[in-house]
Chain A
Amino acid sequence: MSSLANLSATQAAVGCDEFPLIRERGQREVFCGLTGIIWLHRKIQDAFFLVVGSRTCAHLLQSAAGVMIFAEPRFATAIIGERDLAGLADCNDELDRVVSRLLERRPDIRLLFLVGSCPSEVIKLDLSRAASRLSQRFAPGVRVLSYSGSGIETTFTQGEDACLASLVPTLPEETADAAPALLIAGAIAEVVEDQFRRIFDALGVGPVHFLPPRRSTAMPPVGRNTRYALAQPYLADTARALEARGATRIAAPFPLGAEGTTLWLRAIADAWNVDAARFRSVTDLAGERARRALGRQRTLLAGKRVFFFPDSQLEIPLARFLSRELGMELGEVGTPYLHRQHLAEELALLPPGTQLSEGQHVERQLDRCRAMRPDVTVCGLGLANPLEADGLTTKWSIELLFTPIQGYEQAADLAELFARPLVRRLRLEA
């Protein structure tokens, strides 16, 4: 396994010039960064997300959430009104009033995010100043932070990046003489966290911290002895912020699929000098089980062609998984943003010549997709049903964010997400 890891490192140095890349500008059919609130508010259980925006922002959140599961969710929108824009009301006074009312209602909240939106950015409402003002006022019970989830600055998962990056400067300082600690950055399902924690314990890797933590009162420390690994590929700003605090990144592919998980764990284990025998004894069983489970899906998916519309930045790791572990053929792999450094190890594993695209012109991309007629099209909710009506089989990309997909035990679940729409189409008679 370690030889594979080394191989990937050398190939990464080659860069990704060998991939044909379509760069387009046009209509981008993607969510904005506010959407991340849907999973982040479940992840950090004592945090509240207050979007400072318009009715559109509120409508987006409730539409993207799909169902209103919670009568009183831990997110809301402070809707900017005409009076605020006309200067009849002072936006900062208004915000203080809204936040006070909110915190009175919700004494369980320990961490409040003021989330910037397109309108708040355009009117240049300074939410970071508002956050520090409100933080002082409500300290020590509640901390107030701010980040932007606006569509003009963030695409879908970049909202999580912005949120985590806003947390990093507030993390406690690790002492200089502390033992090296591992920080896993990126929201992943709790069940996956627990699995990884057990593996790290067995490997003797630790102490291990996760960002974001489940509770705001248990923020992970960070410092020069922190080694961090990304669990998600979309965390450019978070990575930069962690490095500014002295942490160093463990470069690796992402833990999707059995191979991805092994390479990710291996890179972390190497940083702790775990020997090969121990690594195998800890991971072989789960790896073998995952490959066995994937075998069943492989018979269904091998040779099938997949097309990715840009969405979550998970596209390249997913394409790598689908092609290497399930034998799928890659049509076009679209991503909203190609982070070459964080994806270097992934690109090294991608079949040479894979058609990549960055950015989007949705109409032209639809033309290409319809011309190619892939077996599976990964796309957002706005496009899925129209493509199905055209006879194409689709996979909603948002499910990839709302489902535990990382790690060994989830590898087959991840494959199943792609197999299910195909199986369904085969089952239906009329």
Chain B
Amino acid sequence: MELTLWTYEGPPHVGAMRIATAMEGVHFVLHAPQGDTYADLLFTMIERLQKRPPVTYTTFQARDLGADTAALFQDAARDAFHRFQPQLLMVGASCTAELIQDDPGGLARALDLPVPVVALELPSYQKKENWGAAETFYRLVRATAQPRPAPRPAGTPPSCNVLGPTALGFRHRDDVREITALLERMGIAVNVTAPLGATPADLARLGAADFNVLLYPEIAGTAAAWLGRTFGQKATKTVPIGVAATRDFVAEVAALAGVDPAPVLSAETSRLSWYSRSVDSNYLTGKRVFVFGDATHAVAAARVASGELGFTVVGIGTYSREFARDVREAAKLYEVEALITEDYLAVEAAVAAAQPDLVLGTQMERHIAKRLGIPCAVISAPVHVQDYPARYSPQMGFEGANVLFDTWVHPLMMGLEEHLVSMFRDDFEFHAEAAPSHLGPVVQPPSDAAPVAETVGRARWAAEAEAELGRIPFFVRGKARRNTERFAEERGVSLISLETLYDAKAHFGR
């Protein structure tokens, strides 16, 4: 048993629903108790989809358990087939139905429906949402994809599949548009984009592409690997988040497609590169950033933060255990220990201990950052209604890099403002507790000591030094306190005076 307050991922059947809901022409019959229909609202409320997810739940109750839940499942599957007329029927069980072992696959096949039935094994007590999405997409691809009928005729453009975008994904809708346009400009045709917008008939054509663009490895990695083994299709390894990664991606795609990357690489860039070099961005130098998300977005965000915005990565982590190795590798680049956990409280403790200037995380970290009074931008699922902006707002490609610049820099104190706050510390408007003026009033952290807790054996603060510490702007105060205490401790100073404070400042000064 595992004690959980908030979860980063839902159960695996929610992952399966994300695939079904992304696609056209499929229907998913889920053996599940009454109440599991809550999952519909993820799609209709958070993503504001106008259609119900194509999911029929058996919604069995206690009285059905003594009777025939298998017949209930078969009735539901038969009715759903006749009502929705899908090209393909997916069947599976949620956590409770898994325990009653009704075998939805066998039951559905016994109905002898005139369409393919894909039975999903979704072990709810071992696996989670992203795994469920990956497994479902893989099963669908395996059940439908056909090899390329004939080699690509000479003179036709190279083609690829774009794999991974789902319903309830973080900016998937806009990433697909951005990357599809980029591929077009490179002279590469998109054969099939899946699962988002694809029908089972589209999946059948996957084999006709020359290679695969793997946008979201957490979701399409398994399917892409199978396509590689079965049809010899190579898949991209670079996820095009940030300017540098997008350029790498262009080069990688060009090599796979046999086209020249130079026209696109010389013609295109992002405003991020220039904005980051403009003098106004000097104040971004060395801002301490803590990164947490799914593995792909966390690794990509750390690269952009460090290499394209000049931040210092002080923490990186993921809830995607399946991809922990990638994040550990990335962490080495920044000389930090990767945090691999699904425990929201462990993430909160790590953020509090690192005292970053900016958190790049999920909706969960947004709450953590709000509580600790630290600016935050969201870079990864799990998502919230705010992560479906009305405007075009990709994370990937050159335009995606522009979006990253805006959304990550915006929560920070602006350049000159930061200086003014330091200069006029006791000014009644520019006082140390003031939040960035463009963000309106925000809740301040309970205290700068935060939940790091009082460590036994730490030096005491003289009143005068404590008062001076209070004049340091709140967004660096935590760091100043921590550094000064460390400085005092290392030198065996038991009472921190004004002198100790400024000695420490000189010692640690950037």
Contact = CB atoms under 8 A, between A and B. Distances in A.
Contacts of A219: none
B428 interface: no
Nearest to B83: A363
B124 A380 contact: no
Nearest to B59: A28
B56 interface: yes
A67 B44 CA distance: 16
Given A63-B41, A71-B368, A56 B5 contact: no
A151 B51 contact: no
Given A68-B363, A82-B125, A152-B65, A89 B38 contact: no
B33 A383 contact: no
Contact of A382 (B9, B44, B61, B345): B44
Top 9 closest pairs, chain A to chain B, by CB: A32-B35, A151-B35, A382-B40, A389-B50, A118-B96, A54-B95, A381-B41, A94-B1, A59-B10
A119 B151 CA distance: 52
A339 to B, nearest CB: 17
Contact of B99 (A59, A119, A150): A119
Interface stretch (A11-19, A95-103, A320-328, A400-408): A95-103
A34 B38 CA distance: 11
A152 B60 contact: yes
B254 interface: no
A385 interface: yes
User: Which of B3, B65, B100: most chain A Cβ within 10 A?
Assistant: B3
A80 B65 contact: no
A119 B2 contact: no
A73 B125 CA distance: 24
B14 interface: yes
Most buried by A among B10, B48, B52, B96: B96
B172 interface: no
A381 B45 contact: yes
28 contacts: A26-B79, A27-B76, A29-B40, A30-B35, A32-B34, A54-B124, A55-B7, A55-B9, A55-B128, A56-B13, A56-B94, A58-B4, A63-B42, A68-B6, A76-B4, A79-B2, A82-B123, A82-B126, A98-B3, A118-B33, A118-B95, A153-B62, A363-B79, A384-B44, A385-B44, A385-B49, A386-B44, A389-B51
B52 A382 contact: yes
B364 to A, nearest CB: 7
B367 interface: yes
A385 B37 contact: no
B44 A62 contact: no
Nearest to B56: A27
Contacts of B128: 55
Contacts of A67: 384
B271 interface: no
A81 B3 contact: no
Determine the main DSSP class of A at the interface with B.
helix
B1 A97 contact: yes
A34 B99 CA distance: 19
Contacts of B42: 63
B14 A152 contact: no
B252 interface: no
Given A28-B59, A63-B41, A71-B371, A76 B5 contact: yes
A385 B45 CA distance: 7
Contacts of A97: 1
Contacts of B50: 385-386, 389
B137 interface: no
Given A56-B94, A78-B2, A123 B348 contact: no
A73 B7 contact: no
Contacts of A383: 40, 44, 52
B84 to A, nearest CB: 9
Given A27-B76, A122-B65, A56 B95 contact: yes
A79 B4 contact: yes
B37 A382 contact: yes
Interface string A105-123: 0000000000000110111
Interface string B383-415: 010000000000000000000000000000000
A402 to B, nearest CB: 14
Given A56-B11, A56-B124, A118 B35 contact: yes
A116 to B, nearest CB: 11
Contacts of A95: 1
B36 interface: yes
Task: Identify the interface centre among B13, B41, B65, B99: most chain A CB within 10 Å of its CB.
Answer: B41
A91 B96 CA distance: 17
B96 A122 contact: yes
A236 interface: no
A77 B11 CA distance: 13
A419 to B, nearest CB: 22
Contacts of A377: none
A84 interface: yes
A34 B7 CA distance: 16
A78 B35 contact: no
A71 B124 contact: no
B62 A54 contact: no
A197 B62 CA distance: 39
B191 interface: no
Among A26, A76, A380, chain B packs the most CB atoms within 10 A around the CB of A26
B320 interface: no
Nearest to B48: A385
Given A68-B363, A71-B348, A76-B3, A54 B33 contact: no
B319 interface: no
Contact of B35 (A60, A73, A89): A60
A152 B34 contact: yes
Interface string B1-39: 111111101110110000000000000000001111111
Contacts of B51: 386, 389
B136 interface: no
Contacts of A35: 35, 38
B34 to A, nearest CB: 4
Given A32-B33, A68-B367, A153-B62, A59 B1 contact: no
Contacts of B193: none
Contacts of B2: 78-79, 81
A384 B37 CA distance: 14
Interface string A43-87: 000000000101110111011100110011100111111101100
Contact of A56 (B36, B76, B83): B36
Interface string B158-184: 000000000000000000000000000
B212 interface: no
A313 B76 CA distance: 25
A210 interface: no
B487 interface: no
A155 interface: yes
A372 B364 CA distance: 42
B1 A91 contact: yes
A119 B96 contact: yes
Contacts of B96: 54, 56, 118-119, 122, 151-152
B203 to A, nearest CB: 25
A32 B59 CA distance: 10
A153 B364 CA distance: 31
